[in-house]
Structure 1
Amino acid sequence: MSFHSALRAAALAAALLSSAGSFAQEETPETLPDFPGRDETFGYCIGCHSMKVVARQGMDRVRWDDTLRWMTEKHNMPEPDAEMRKILLDYLSQAFPPQAPAQGGGWTSPFAPKS
């Protein structure tokens, strides 16, 4: 292998290795929007799925409430008591409000508000 080929191979390997760390970013409460209830919401949700799933939803308070009910009924999520439900709904509706629909006809969440 020539010097230049070895140098290119080393540069490519370094680039791939440096970007690989970004794919495996650890989720922590600090990776979420900073609103009251962040830690509680993170603790409640992360046991079953990534917070990236939550962040992509973009729903209003009613849809978040419907989703919590659905997860309790269909997926055995522990039923939050009234105080915890309020904390969760306050956080989710503030941190992940409804968003404009994705352009280009890509994947649409089944929990997204219907137009």
Structure 2
Amino acid sequence: MARSILLAAALVMMAVAGDVRADESPADMPDFPGRDETFGYCIGCHSMKVVGRQGMDRDRWDSTLSWMSEKHNMPAPDAETRKLLLDYLEKAYPAATPAQGGGFVVPFAPQR
């Protein structure tokens, strides 16, 4: 029930704002558990294409969720939802090195 409410809220926000992301849907994302919830959390602020090209590991996804809640007012997910989001992101968009096309890399930053 909460999943469908979250998804409906995201879609309503996009429609009201005339958002260019309105053509995206969860069906465009890899099909793993947590897809709808992840879509609902992310799409309100940015395209899922942004998410798909990050190439982050679970720890970085976790830090990013915290950062978005603290700095960009994303609703903080409860512990169960956070685990679901992280499980999805880790499986659907696994960590990648820059050579594999993963995420933005600051050229002068130390490499891990």
Say if 2:67 is the partner of 1:36. Answer: no
Q: For residue 59 of structure 1, what is the aligned residue in structure 2?
A: 56
Q: Is the 8 A contact 1:37 1:88 kept in 2?
A: yes
For each residue in 1:12-38, what CA deviation from the matched residue of structure 2 results, as whole angstroms up to 9, or x when unmatched? Answer: xxxxxxxxxxxx892110100111100
Aligned counterpart, 1:108:
104
Check conservation: 1:57, 1:109, Cα contact below 8 A. no
Considering only aligned residues, what root-mean-square deviation do their CA atoms show, in Å?
Answer: 2.2
Residues 1:83 and 1:25: Cα distance change in structure 2 (over 3 Å): closer
2:76 to 74, 79, 88: 79
| Aligned length in residues | 86
Shift of 1:108: 1.9
Q: Distance in 1 between matches of 2:31 and 2:105?
A: 24
Larger radius of gyration: 1
Give distance in 1, aligned partners of 2:99 and 2:41. Answer: 27
Distance 1:52 1:109, change over 3 A: farther
Cα drift, residue 99 of structure 1: 1.2
Q: Shift in Å at residue 100 of structure 1?
A: 2.5
Determine the C-alpha separation between the residues in 1 that align with 2:104 and 2:82. 26
Residue 91 of structure 1 pairs with residue 88 of structure 2: yes
Segments of 4+ in structure 1 off by > 6 A?
Answer: none
Q: Gaps (5+ residues) in structure 2? A: 1-20
Measured at CA, do residues 75 and 98 of structure 1 come closer, stay the same or move farther in structure 2, by a change above 3 Å?
same
